A and B are shown apart, each in its own frame.
Chain A
Amino acid sequence: MQIPYTIEERPDTGLYNAKLGIWLFLASEVMLFGALFSSYVLLRTGDPGFMTMSHDVAEALHLEGHAHRWSDVLSVPLAFVNTLVLIFSSVTIVMSWASLRLKDFGKFRLWMGLTILCALGFMGIKAIEYSSKFSHHLYPETSNFLGVYFTLTGLHALHVIGGLIVLAYLWGPGSKMWKSQPQRFVNRVETVGLYWHFVDLVWIFLFPTLYLL
């Protein structure tokens, strides 16, 4: 027995199986990140001292000025570069999918390879950020703000790692499907592209929420 709608779209939903599956998964992800964002907003609005750093800690971290907030320990330039990297990776993944639609497998490999490099670059910058915090003895248990910061960015980084594994598979061994079932392979790339856009979108909201406000 053959499973229907693995390649062609189901007439009533207009979706093939994988696309329906990824949208259901993304809906659950919206709830997961939504709950964490809501927790952050409630903590921040409910606790007047949530963002306030004590004078002793500020002095130990060599922060200048008088009033200090926990978000002052985060690196805005690094986070902005990471934002640029993720926006660019969204462009490259769409280009890789469009290349397959135009039956240009060579360009697909190029664009997908660039997407993988962007994901690795993002993780590299994140590792620099994390190691900088740890070297200053700033851990999730140091303050509630840092607890939220490490939870949200850590969970996001896990999603990037998950995406990176799938991207690498489609770039490498998984790309053999292009010869046997080309349309199904295009669908797979579109599906991972939707996931990747969601992960990027989460970061687009995380950056101003944690680093700037």
Chain B
Amino acid sequence: MSLKAFHILFVAVCVVMCLAVGAWGTREYLAASNVTGLGLAVACFVLGAGLIVYGFKVYKKLAELG
């Protein structure tokens, strides 16, 4: 596997983890009014969305490299 492919895989795993941690933070906030959990959830959802956009852009860029 090349660095290109591993990087795309890495970004995909990060997105999944961001969504999972975001869901955990949301649950923490709803169950125990944990403000840290809410902050973490918001940060993770934003990061996940950013990584999805980045993932598509970098996939195109790296494909151009050959």
Interface size class of B (residues with CB under 8 A): 20 to 34
Main secondary structure of the interface of A (DSSP, over half): helix
A80 CA / B39 CA spacing, docked (Å):
11
Q: Are A90 and B40 in contact (CB under 8 A)?
A: no
B52 at the interface (CB under 8 A from A): no
Main secondary structure of the interface of B (DSSP, over half): helix
A23 CA / B3 CA spacing, docked (Å):
11
Q: Which residues of chain B are near A77, meaning CB under 8 Å?
A: 36
Q: Are B65 and A101 in contact (CB under 8 A)?
A: yes
Residue count of chain A within 8 Å CB distance of chain B = 25
A208 CA / B16 CA spacing, docked (Å):
12
Q: Which residues of chain A are near B10, meaning CB under 8 Å?
A: 90, 197, 200-201
Closest to B61 in A: A98
Q: In the complex where A101-B65, A208-B20 touch, is A201 in contact with B13 (Cβ < 8 A)?
A: yes
| B residues apposed to A, CB below 8 Å | 1-4, 6-7, 10, 13-14, 17, 20-21, 24, 36, 40, 43, 47, 51, 54, 58, 61-62, 65
| A residues apposed to B, CB below 8 Å | 23, 76-77, 80, 84, 87, 90-91, 94, 97-98, 101-102, 190, 193-194, 197, 200-201, 204-205, 207-208, 212-213
